[in-house]
Amino acid sequence: MSKILSGFKDFILRGNAVDLAVGVVIGASFGSVVNALVKDLLTPFIGAIAKVPDFSGLTFTINGSRFMYGDLINVLISFLLIAITIYFFVILPMNMLISRTAKPKPVTTKKCPECLSDVPLEAKRCAHCTQEVS
C-alpha cells in the first residue's frame, strides 16, 4: 500500500501536474477578472456610445419563427471586447517585457560573400560553394 501512495505522491508532486493545477486556478480567476472588466466597464462604455446598452431585444420573424439575432450581437461584442482586452492588457505588455529582458543571441555564423549561405565563424571555406571566407 505504501508503494502505491509513494507512486501517487511522486505523480502529484511532479512539476507538470502542479504547474497544470496552478495554471487552471490562475486561468479561472483571470477569466473572471477579464469578464468583469468587459461586463462592468467596456460594455457600458460601448452602450453609452451606441445608445443601446443591450442588443438582446433585437429580433425578426419569418413565417412565425422568431430569430433573436440580438443575443448573437451581444456575444460577438463581448468576444471582441475580451479579445481586445487580453491583447492590450496581457499580450502586449508581456511581449514588451520579454523583449526588454531578452538577451541577444551570440553571433555564431557569417555570410558567404559568394552564395550568401550561413557559414560558422571558424570556417575558412563555405561548405556550399567552397569559396574562401574571411
Q: What is the rounded CA–CA span in Å between residue 93 and residue 87?
A: 9
At residue 110, φ and ψ (nearest 5 deg) are -135, 165
For 30, 116, 123, 134, the CA distances from 113, given in Å and listed in that order, are: 52, 6, 13, 9
CATH level 3 topology of 2-102: 1.10.1200
Q: What is the rounded CA–CA span in Å between residue 114 and residue 130?
A: 9
Q: Structure pTM?
A: 0.51
Closest CA to 110 of 127, 89, 88, 93: 127
Mean pLDDT: which of 1-15, 55-69, 73-87 is highest? 55-69
Q: How confident is the model at residue 27 (pLDDT cuts 50, 70, 90)?
A: confident
Specify the pLDDT at position 62: 94
Q: Which residues are 111's β-sheet partners? A: 118
Which residues neighbour 111 within 8 Å (Cβ) at sequence distance 6 or greater? 117, 118, 119
Mean pLDDT of 64-72: 90
Range(s) of the chain covered by CATH 1.10.1200.120 = 2-102
Mean pLDDT: which of 9-13, 19-23, 39-43, 106-110 is highest? 106-110
Please provide the DSSP assignment of 6-22 as one string. Answer: HHHHHHHHSHHHHHHHH
